[in-house]
């Protein structure tokens, strides 16, 4: 079998997605997600201008060889644009291989290690009653684990709160990126946040009891000592995890956090290779790996990363926001089903319009996801529908402190 075409499809059904479609001389096609929120066109160009020509005539079965070729022949290593492009090729080749074998992809990864994939949903509220309503809605939809984000008195717009008024007048129900030519400016105050958050978890535990797994995303906003303080303050509320408590480019910072708290830690949605985790995993400084298949070199690289983590009893918590396309979600679900050290899967539903463009076979039943049993990934891209929604500039917001200083968002 030979690769005869590699097309890059950029479409924007409510949000931007970049998809790679590889076609073989036998007429089998494979899809890979290359969406990088707010930087979509750079990955599209990387693929179209620099990668697609290299794929022509290659044997699609040679997945490992293609991965190593794209990684090493670029000379320039790592980085979100490169690794998203490699991920798209890798996932598209796995899709082709599984379709050629007539099996759902998870069978080629060793078969199912479980019957369903526990997913967590995103609940949020501007105040406690609104938050409780949102948690109840998620429980009614079947979610068995819930991420909790709330507004903080004195801060206008906090990451992850769907109903708060944004500077552009759009709600955050599906995701934080907004269709604006410039990133929206938001505000932040870590001391106010640290004072408020424990009282929110106390209220949630009081209302929903001790069993419900609760998660929280700190979104890289704290220093190590602030993160240690928050982890400690949240211990009575038994979190499933505290995510991105510090900007973890500095992996050593997690030593300090770890010395002070037994709250489980999850990190890595902005990382793109196993090297970003070397200290974190070897020294057991985290409990969950948050990378996305889409941003970390695909199935091939994620499998190696998660196998490394498994040696240290560190589990998966694959990134699954709406900026991961249904193609990227399906890739995550096949991996989730197959690996032994599965932890939890983030699941933020796509909009109905996005689901019209990307037809999926994965299911969400009683809190558990399953990739389905169609050959390959189980996702089809309706290219005619995709063409109706051209790219629109959209950016994630950014933060400034009260004195105007730019802060991590
Ligand atoms: O802000 O995917 O845990 N989930 C997250 C996401 C990220 C977005 C950035 O593109 O933190 O909502
Ligand atoms: Co996050």
- Tens of pLDDT, residue by residue over 372-404, are 999 999 999 999 999 999 999 999 999 999 999
**Catalytic position from the list 46, 120, 159, 193:** 159
As a whole number, mean pLDDT of residues 36-41 equals 98
pLDDT band with cut points at 50, 70 and 90 for residue 163: confident
Could you confirm whether 193 is annotated as catalytic?
no
Percent of the chain with pLDDT over 90: 94
As a whole number, mean pLDDT of residues 296-318 equals 98
Which residues, by Cβ under 5 Å, contact ligand 2, an ion?
217, 269
Percent of the chain with pLDDT over 70: 98
pLDDT at 337 over 80: yes
pTM for the predicted model, two decimal places: 0.97
Could you confirm whether 219 is annotated as catalytic?
yes
pLDDT of residue 164: 79
Q: Which atom of ligand 1 is nearest to the CA of 37?
A: 10
pLDDT of residue 162: 85
Which of 191, 199, 200, 203 minimizes the C-alpha distance to 229? 191
Q: Whose CA is nearest to atom 7 of ligand 1?
A: 321
**Catalytic position from the list 219, 220, 334, 370:** 219
Q: CB under 8 Å to 245, separation ≥6 — which residues? A: 218, 222, 227, 230, 231, 257, 265, 267
pLDDT of residue 168: 63
pLDDT of residue 170: 66
Order of strands, edge to edge, in the sheet holding 3-11? 3-11, 17-24, 29-33
Number of C-beta neighbours around residue 64 at 10 A: 11
pLDDT of residue 355: 97
Which of 262, 338, 350, 352 minimizes the C-alpha distance to 306? 338
């Amino acid at each position: 079998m030979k690769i005869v075409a590699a097309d890059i499809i950029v479409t924007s059904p409510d949000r931007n997605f970049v998809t790679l479609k590889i076609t073989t001389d036998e007429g089998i096609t494979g899809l890979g997600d290359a969406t990088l929120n707010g930087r979509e066109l750079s990955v599209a160009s990387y693929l179209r201008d620099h990668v697609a020509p290299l794929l022509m005539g290659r044997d699609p079965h040679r997945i490992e060889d293609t991965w190593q070729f794209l990684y090493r022949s670029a000379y320039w290593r790592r980085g979100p644009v490169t690794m998203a492009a490699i991920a798209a090729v890798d996932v598209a080749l796995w899709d082709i291989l599984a379709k050629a074998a007539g099996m759902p992809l998870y069978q080629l990864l060793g078969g199912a290690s479980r019957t369903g994939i526990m997913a967590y949903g995103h609940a949020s509220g501007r105040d406690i009653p609104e938050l409780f309503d949102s948690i109840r809605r998620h429980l009614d939809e079947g979610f068995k684990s819930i991420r909790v984000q709330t507004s903080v008195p004195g801060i206008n717009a906090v990451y992850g709160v769907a109903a708060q008024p944004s500077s552009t007048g759009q709600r955050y129900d599906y995701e934080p990126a907004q269709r604006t030519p410039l990133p929206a400016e938001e505000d932040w105050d870590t001391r106010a946040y640290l004072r408020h958050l424990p009282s929110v978890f106390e209220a949630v535990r009081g209302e929903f009891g001790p069993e419900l797994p609760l998660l929280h995303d700190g979104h890289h906003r704290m220093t190590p000592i602030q993160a240690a303080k928050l982890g400690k303050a949240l211990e009575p509320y038994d979190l499933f995890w505290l995510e991105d408590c510090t900007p973890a480019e500095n992996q050593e910072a997690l030593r300090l956090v770890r010395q002070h708290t037994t709250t489980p830690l999850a990190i890595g949605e902005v990382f793109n290779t196993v090297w970003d985790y070397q200290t974190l995993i070897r020294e057991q400084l985290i409990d969950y790996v948050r990378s996305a298949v889409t941003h970390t070199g695909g199935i091939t690289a994620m499998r190696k990363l998660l196998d490394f983590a498994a040696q240290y009893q560190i589990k998966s918590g694959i990134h699954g926001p709406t900026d991961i396309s249904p193609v990227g979600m399906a890739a995550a679900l096949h991996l989730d089903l197959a690996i032994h050290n599965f932890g939890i899967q983030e699941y933020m539903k796509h909009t109905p319009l996005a689901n019209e463009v990307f037809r999926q076979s994965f299911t969400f039943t009683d809190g558990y996801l399953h990739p389905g049993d169609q050959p390959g990934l189980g996702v089809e891209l309706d290219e005619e529908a995709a063409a109706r929604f051209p790219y629109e500039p959209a950016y994630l917001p950014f933060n400034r402190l009260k004195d105007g200083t730019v802060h991590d968002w």
